[in-house]
Chains A and B, each alone.
Chain A
Amino acid sequence: EAQLVQSGAEVKKSGESLKISCKDSGYSFDSHWIGWVRQMPGKGLEYMGIIYPGDSDTRYSPSFQGQVTISADKSISTVYLQWSSLKASDTAMYYCARQIAVVIEKTAGYAFDVWGQGTMVTVSS
């Protein structure tokens, strides 16, 4: 059974760097895209970006381009989300999720079918 396991909660200060991880267990890691999703306190889900671990092809939401870096190490089945200089506004829960794609009646549909448990990042100013 596919499972994504994320690294633990982090408490950091503004200006510090951070790298959180998402490790696959149980499926062919480098044959699915893996996305990152943010949920700020009291707010909705926000798509951040996505990576194909097989070749590290990465796409960012315009809202997060230049703000974070998504990377992967397929040798250890792990995807990362990193910040070079955290801000208080980065305080949020971060989820990784596996993406699947289907085509039905010539129309494509995508879904995030397996999710990590989430990593809470708290940044103090």
Chain B
Amino acid sequence: SSELTQDPAVSVALGQTITITCQGDTLRSFYASWYQHKPGQAPLLVVYAKNNRPSGIPDRFSGSRSGNTASLTITGAQAEDEADYYCNSRDTSHNHWVFGGGTKVTVL
């Protein structure tokens, strides 16, 4: 399958924990990567592979995988975490990559 499915929108209270999921058959074979995208900015890699964070990404961002589902967890969400989040992974049937539809995260 070449599709990655994400919930369109979720909300979280300031300081609480939120988990965003990404589902797709390809996730049984490859890890996902996660991107934060704010208006007027380039996407920012926040988590990749098993649970790797690039330098500078706060440790409140973490990733996991189970079966065909990858998850991004924000523990203690901050106002600045309000953004669109996208997962990405390699497609198993073709030699290319695919993004999920994105999840809009609102911090209340």
Q: Using a CB–CB distance below 8 Å, which chain A residues touch chain B?
A: 35, 37, 44-47, 49-50, 59-62, 95, 97, 100, 102, 104-105, 107-113, 115-118
Contacts and interface: CB of A to CB of B under 8 A. Distances in A.
A110 B89 contact: yes
A105 B96 contact: no
Contacts of B54: 113
A115 B42 contact: yes
A95 B100 CA distance: 17
9 contacts: A44-B86, A44-B102, A47-B98, A104-B49, A110-B97, A111-B88, A113-B54, A115-B45, A118-B42
Contacts of B90: 108, 110
List 7 tightest A-B contacts by C-beta distance, closest first: A109-B31, A109-B49, A111-B48, A111-B33, A115-B42, A44-B102, A45-B99
Contacts of B45: 111-113, 115
* Chain B interface residue number, banded: 20 to 34
A67 B43 CA distance: 24
A44 B54 CA distance: 23
A59 B94 CA distance: 10
B48 A109 contact: yes
Interface in B49-88: 49-50, 52, 54, 84, 86, 88
B44 interface: yes
Nearest to A107: B31
B44 A115 contact: yes
A102 B48 contact: yes
B29 to A, nearest CB: 8
B90 to A, nearest CB: 6
Given A45-B102, A60-B96, A107-B30, A112 B89 contact: no
A49 B98 CA distance: 10
Interface string B14-58: 000000000000000111110101000011110011101010000
